A and B are shown apart, each in its own frame.
Chain A
């Protein structure tokens, strides 16, 4: 029992100690190259002025990023005028910047001056497809209903995306959803024929893709702007405003291409650009090399899963002890916990955004909910299957209810409970990689970035440590079982 307490205390204090740091200015990004690149420019601009910066990149979508801004999880990120007007504010696509700024102000968000380029949506096909079907503009698509459209999820759902486009051009095709990071690959492998792209996307150069002209001028303008929290430090805002009108379409596309085609890092490309513009005096030494970044991501990952699993231990065990005497309550608890388990993790994370915002808190809540089932189920089963003779003896010897639990039931249930915790921990380590989509960081961060860049190496930087971590967790719990539980109870589990 005392060993159990030692383990719990250590488990609680280590992540808390790691988390206790002063809060720098947090720059966010969404999950595509340009957003990462602009975030890196913002970060380096601030760092060159000795303002501490934290990068929370790879937020999974507009609403996640904007919600993060509103809740203070991030302080600034790059957004587009058309996205702000239609997706965030539900305003007309031709709203002026003044109107947008006025609408954002009550939300505590400032619209900083525009960056100069217009990154609107575009439809793109391979050069071969363009030649084969004689495609030059979007209207040309109407004659070829057999063309397969694989569109990014966000584009398919936006009023200024696929639904409006299909209507405006009277397109006969249906579309299927695809992760944007995988779309070009699918295009090149002829899995799909048409996908959406951003007009400044460096991949357009990389894969030699043809952009179909928006001949009906359906797509609204998406002027790049920076949005920042109103309460952001004035010096920081001034520094960020230096980027105003520095980037035109061609510049942005070629910077994007430097990342995706030449495989230079965001930091290198952003630093070189800022230096060229005279906005910084020297390129910072590479902000973070592989190992420190890996270490930090691993620690965050451990923190997310550690706190979630520990909380689930307390809740699951408490729940089990409360309900195990009543078969109907036990069944109800297991049913509800089982139901939670069936919610797809990415959907659960999304559902949590309105309630818990973005960042580590909702990630921990989601992992906690997933961990509850294996722990509660194993604990309830263990308590229900304790030898009735041992129960009778514990009662008859004159042990109080608390003493029965503490000295007999809980120790006897421990092997099963630990198995539940072990399962919960290993599953959590895997699921936690998805938490990067809501800005929680961890080993999912390189995976998300790698997906955005179509960079297998980067994906592996997240995937391999996550797999190793899962193996380590297995070994850790095996050791813990050996330490806490007499050997004969491990093999036989619970018996008289």
Chain B
């Protein structure tokens, strides 16, 4: 079974630390895949191989059946949404512009930008009144939802999420998860989610890939993996990573 994202014999080293050595992995289209593992296991690096923020020392990464291009990366990246922990919303732009910047740069009409922004905000339960606020005027949870709206704006074929829901209190996080699943239902994209939270992984992920020390420990559909197995308990310390 080949996927929309294919890692073949990927190796990466930082100084003396070897992060990956001959990693092979397929990520399937139209499915939410959760990459789980303790911090420092290399899961964020894997994500950054996909949008070309980092390059493997050896091996290949294929996306859409093509290797990650060396040039014209900007255009390529617009097909891949990206939302991260801490959101990285631009502090000098109002929320609506943060969300719609890519549409503006892509030459969308004012009306198209407006309606897309409103739709996304509604899906993520962001009140219209927040449009003209600056990021610092929003709560942590609102900012994270706005970050996801921004990543979804151009209807990317792949959405990369790097711990986008961490740092919010658990109740709030559950709410964001619900919103996010609604959004997925409406937009249908291939999602790669990096998290260290098993509960989040099982709630959002259809496919789970567990990584430890640069190796794939276990890969399978969410309902086939026993979160309370002995190995995982050791890995995540009773399923509570924090």
Query: What is the interface of chain A, defined by CB distance below 8 A to chain B?
Result: 387, 389-390, 392-400, 403, 407-408, 411-412, 485-486, 488-489, 492, 495-496
Contacts and interface: CB of A to CB of B under 8 A. Distances in A.
A383 to B, nearest CB: 14
Given A486-B92, A496-B91, A399 B51 contact: no
Nearest to B78: A398
Given A396-B82, A399-B105, A486-B134, A496 B88 contact: yes
B232 interface: no
Interface stretch (B34-42, B69-77, B193-201, B211-219): B69-77
Interface string B42-55: 00000000010100
Contacts of B134: 486, 488
B114 interface: no
B5 interface: no
22 contacts: A389-B88, A392-B53, A393-B88, A394-B90, A396-B51, A396-B82, A397-B150, A398-B73, A398-B76, A398-B78, A398-B102, A399-B74, A403-B105, A407-B90, A412-B90, A486-B92, A486-B134, A488-B136, A489-B91, A489-B92, A495-B91, A496-B86
B91 A389 contact: no
Contacts of B84: 389, 392-393
Nearest to B48: A396
A393 B86 CA distance: 11
Minimum-distance CB pairs A-B, first 5: A398-B77, A393-B88, A398-B78, A396-B82, A400-B74
A486 B74 CA distance: 28
Contacts of A400: 74
B101 interface: yes
Interface in B145-199: 150-151, 160
Given A398-B77, A398-B78, A408 B90 contact: yes
Contacts of A489: 91-92
Contacts of B151: 397
B105 A393 contact: no
B77 A397 contact: yes
B232 to A, nearest CB: 30
B91 A395 contact: no
Contacts of B92: 411-412, 485-486, 489
Given A397-B102, A496-B86, 4 more contacts: A395-B77, A396-B51, A398-B75, A488-B136
